Amino acid sequence: MFDHFLETLQNKIISRGGSHLEIPAGLESEHSQKKDSKITSWLWEVPGFRRWRVTRLDAGSKLQVLNSVAYPDHSLDHPLMGIDLLWFGDRKKLVAVLDFQPLIQDPTYLEQHFTGLKSLNKQFPDLNSEETMRSFDPNQYFSPWLLFCRGGADQAEGSLPKAFDAFLNAYWDMHDAAAEQGSKLPPEEVKRLQISYDIYSAERDPAHGLFTSHFGKDWSDRFLHEFLFPASHQPA
């Protein structure tokens, strides 16, 4: 279901000068014979980004997942990029989250960085759900204009592919503009906020239970704290 999305994302990363970073041993991939599933991850360093992670879970017709988070360099205070796509094939159910994840909720900050996402929010109304995400406070590390959908095949095969490409392009445009304008927050503050993001996300990650059911608690705990949110064990 998400192979095209993965290819599009990774091709864009490579075209922007991305190079592979080492993933902690044993976390690059894992198989579950019990669930007949496989998870594979990639870690990139991209000019302007200190860390860009990508994860693909393939559990056949039962479940498909694509997840990615991009962390800008500490010299840039613009939003992180967050992608969460889940397809429950047997039930024909889609859950999709695409967002520029703000470090702060200051109105001036939001006005500076979110023009592109605001436009997409209007352009794709069926990915503009007012339903809140149960695991997270929408006023912290999520924007008011995120693309969020609990839908079905119509969205998965119709609007989502177009929205995904447009979302990536809008994020790169935002990044390029922010890099040219410069950061208003000092690097030390950006670092602190990115650490806080990891801590907050690790405490609430709804996928942790899913990964545990497929790959066991020990592996999933390592995956959560060493790969997904590696700063989560550090003080903010």
The CA distances from residue 89 to 38, 65, 119, 202, in Å, are 16, 11, 30, 27
**Average pLDDT score over the chain:** 93
pLDDT above 80: residue 162:
yes
Nearest one of 84, 214, 92 to 142, comparing CA atoms: 84
In which band, very low, low, confident or very high, does the pLDDT at 210 lie, cut at 50, 70 and 90?
very high
Q: What percent of the chain has pLDDT over 90?
A: 83
Q: Which two tokens stand for residue 64?
A: 């498909």
Just give the CATH number of 3-185.
3.40.1500.20
44-48, 130-134, 177-181: segment of lowest average pLDDT: 130-134
Cα-Cα-Cα-Cα torsion 189, 117, 85, 222, nearest 10 degrees, comes to 0
Predicted local distance difference test score (pLDDT) of residue 40:
98
pLDDT above 60: residue 234:
no
pLDDT above 80: residue 169:
yes
Is the entire prediction scored with pTM above 0.85? yes
Alpha helices in 98-159 (DSSP H): 107-113, 115-123, 153-154
- Number of neighbouring beta carbons within 10 Å of residue 188: 9
Q: What is the DSSP letter of 38?
A: E
> What's the rounded Cα separation, in Å, for the pair 213 and 100?
29
pLDDT above 50: residue 98:
yes
Q: Averaged over 161-178, what is the pLDDT?
A: 97
Q: Which two tokens stand for residue 96?
A: 């999709």
Q: What percent of the chain has pLDDT over 70?
A: 94
Nearest one of 75, 184, 84 to 135, comparing CA atoms: 84
In which band, very low, low, confident or very high, does the pLDDT at 235 lie, cut at 50, 70 and 90?
very low
**CB-neighbour burial class of residue 87 (10 A; exposed 0-12, middle 13-18, buried 19+):** buried
> What's the rounded Cα separation, in Å, for the pair 66 and 146?
17
Q: Parse the chain into domains and list their residue ranges.
A: 3-185
Residue whose entry in the numeric block shows the structure tokens 């047997």: 90
